[in-house]
């Protein structure tokens, strides 16, 4: 009798919490167990008819933005209803591990490598007790989209490699460049010419907020905030997606961009980023290019309407191509709650393209069919 009662309760729970038929940006988003989804700074993988949402598993209180558990995973067939698949990359108990309890692990992105048959996770890693000074890109691998993922190593990308097209005269530091006043015209020129690229040349370039993009030709790229978050770097990955090819470019030097998210539509690459204001929201930026490696053109703020100057109180994390919907894309963003990170919310909005510029308009509620009809 007790077993039958348990089964009945489980069925009722499934029925109650699996009826989402639309997105409600900013509202509490519960999984199929009725618990608020805990997958912050996340990304989506579509594999064999199922979407997998990977994100930071946040905890309560002031320590909730350090990594105490690991990365979570949720699965869905329709993008509205998500099943908790558990922790797919766990914090390690070894105090000497780079991903030991108390480190910082952010923005996991998972891609599938067709050649190896492996699922590859890239993420931003900061070492325990070092604040945000390590600025590393880290990689893990799994045979299954549900994990478990095995941590392999972390990198400072492009060690002792100059960016593509870098001028010879910029490879040598000027005598007084380290004494320049921050944000002065002379300092901005020095940043543009590679002051911080030269600084980090021997140890590798910084990698903080990041995303991973796989192009139509299966080439993959890590796009990451570098140079003290002043400049975005776009770094090509090796064929196995586990290392770098030494082919990389800089985007918007001294532009102070983070939280990059990228997509491609009708042969044009678009990127949405944020400014750098800690956990506080700011005005989003957008860019376009005919090549993933650039050059990129600034398009301004993609958001329109009320609270557009704050990206609707959120920050970008990923742009999701919707399977089966021709060139339909969803802007994914987080509403951070630094006072209690586990309560952070999610903003998912449809992306419109107007005159080759992405447009984000607020919607209290929306679904994929209604948006497709307006396109």
Report pLDDT digits (tens) over 235-269: 999 999 999 999 999 999 999 999 999 999 999 99
Mean pLDDT in residue range 160-169: 96
Q: What is the model's pLDDT at position 375?
A: 54
Judged against a pLDDT cut of 60, whether residue 8 lies above it is answered with no
- Quote the DSSP letter at residue 81: S
DSSP for 184-222 reads SHHHHHHHHTTHHHHHTTTT-----SEEEEE-TTS-EEE
Residues 6 or more apart whose Cβ sits within 8 Å of residue 103? 66, 67, 91, 125, 126, 127, 128
What is the per-residue pLDDT for 2?
Answer: 53
In DSSP terms, 232 is beta-bridged to 225, 251
The residue-averaged pLDDT of 27-47 equals: 97
Q: List the domains of the chain with CATH numbers.
A: 31-155 (2.115.10.20)
Most confident of 9-13, 15-19, 64-68: 64-68
Sign of CA dihedral 239, 211, 250, 157: negative
pLDDT in the model for residue 6? 52
In the structure, what pLDDT confidence band is assigned to residue 374 with cuts at 50, 70 and 90?
low
Who has greater pLDDT, 301 or 370?
301
| Whole-number average pLDDT of the chain | 93
Task: Assign 18 a pLDDT band (cuts: 50, 70, 90).
Answer: low
Of 116-125, 235-244, 365-374, the least confident: 365-374
pLDDT given at position 63: 82
Q: What angle (nearest 5°) sits at the alpha carbon of residue 197, between those of residues 195 and 199?
A: 70
Mean pLDDT of 156-181: 92
Confidence (pLDDT) at 325: 73
Contact 236, 219 (CB under 8 A): yes
Which single residue is written with the structure tokens 């940043």? 191
Over residues 67-96, mean pLDDT: 97
pTM over 0.85: yes
Q: What pLDDT was estimated at residue 326?
A: 72
Task: Give which of 4, 9, 83 is closest to 39, Cα–Cα.
Answer: 83
The owner of tokens 């997606």 is 241
Return all residues near 63 (Cβ < 8 A) that are at least 6 apart: none
């Amino acid at each position: 009798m007790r077993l039958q009662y348990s089964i009945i309760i489980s069925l009722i729970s499934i029925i109650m919490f699996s009826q989402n038929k639309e997105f409600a940006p900013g509202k509490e988003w519960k999984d199929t167990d009725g618990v608020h989804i805990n997958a912050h700074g996340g990304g989506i993988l579509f594999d064999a008819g199922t979407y997998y949402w990977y994100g930071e598993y946040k905890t309560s209180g002031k320590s909730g933005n350090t990594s105490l558990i690991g990365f979570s995973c949720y699965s869905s067939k329709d993008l509205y209803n998500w099943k908790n698949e558990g922790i797919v990359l766990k914090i390690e108990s070894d105090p000497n591990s780079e991903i030991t309890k108390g480190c910082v692990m952010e923005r996991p992105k998972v891609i599938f490598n067709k050649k190896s048959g492996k699922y590859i996770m890239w993420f931003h890693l900061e070492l325990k007790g070092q604040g945000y000074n390590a600025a590393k890109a880290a990689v893990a691998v799994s045979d299954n989209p549900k994990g478990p993922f095995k941590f392999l190593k972390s990198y400072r990308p492009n060690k002792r490699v100059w960016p593509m097209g870098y001028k010879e005269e910029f490879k040598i530091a000027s005598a007084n460049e380290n004494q320049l006043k921050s944000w002065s015209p002379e300092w901005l020129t020095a940043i543009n010419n590679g002051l911080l690229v030269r600084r980090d040349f021997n140890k590798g370039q910084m990698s903080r907020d990041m995303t991973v993009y796989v192009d139509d030709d299966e080439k993959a790229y890590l796009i990451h905030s570098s140079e003290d978050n002043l400049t975005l770097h776009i770094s090509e990955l090796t064929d196995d997606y586990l290392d770098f090819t030494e082919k990389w470019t800089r985007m918007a030097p001294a532009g102070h961009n983070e939280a990059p998210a990228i997509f491609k539509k009708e042969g044009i690459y678009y990127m949405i980023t944020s400014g750098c204001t800690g956990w506080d929201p700011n005005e989003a930026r957008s860019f376009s290019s005919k090549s993933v490696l650039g050059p990129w053109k600034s398009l301004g703020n993609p958001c329109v309407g009320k609270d557009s100057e704050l990206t609707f109180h959120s920050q970008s994390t990923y742009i999701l191509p919707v399977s089966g919907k021709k060139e339909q894309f969803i802007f994914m963003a987080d509403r951070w709650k630094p006072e209690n990170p586990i309560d952070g919310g999610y903003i998912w909005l449809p992306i419109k393209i107007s005159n080759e510029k992405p447009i984000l308009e607020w919607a209290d509620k929306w679904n994929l069919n209604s948006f497709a009809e307006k396109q």
